[in-house]
Amino acid sequence: MNTLQFSDHLVSYEMFIKDLASQIVRFLKEDSHDPEFISQRKAFELFGRRNIERWKKLGLVEGFRRPGRLEYRTADLRFLQRCPQDYLKVAPKEVRKVMNDMETNKPVTLTNKKDKD
């Protein structure tokens, strides 16, 4: 039986895949009714004004101008919402790399600063 070792426990590969699949299904159900774009006002309500402004300042989210309004891609905002601790200094590079890989359909690989040294 294959197992995956995490820092605090071992998990069988089958259990890991089942848990991952259930998370993916839950996320798909949550996001299935989201429109492709939402207005800036709605984005501020759902995700918080400071979060949107921080993500925009870091270049992680892009606003799209429409006549009389500014809109954001909902999928990008949902992705950033689910990234833990994106306000740390190391996070923007990693998040930006994941978002770029998602746009180009490349496999996602995260690096650790300790591994580079």
- Tell me the pLDDT tens digit for each residue of 21-44: 888 888 777 777 888 899 999 999
- pLDDT above 60: residue 13: yes
Higher-pLDDT residue of 54 and 86 is 54
Which residue has 């994941």 as its token pair? 98
CATH T-level fold of 35-116: Multidrug-efflux Transporter Regulator; Chain: A; Domain 2 (1.10.1660)
d(CA 17, CA 77): 26
Query: How high is the pLDDT of residue 72?
Result: 96
**Where do the structural domains in the chain lie, given as residue ranges?**
1-33, 35-116
Residue 1, CB-side half-sphere exposure with 13 Å CA sphere:
10
Q: Within its chain, how far is the Cα of 114 from the centroid? A: 23
Whole-structure pTM value: 0.57
Query: How high is the pLDDT of residue 46?
Result: 93
Of 78, 59, 68, nearest to 39 by C-alpha is: 68
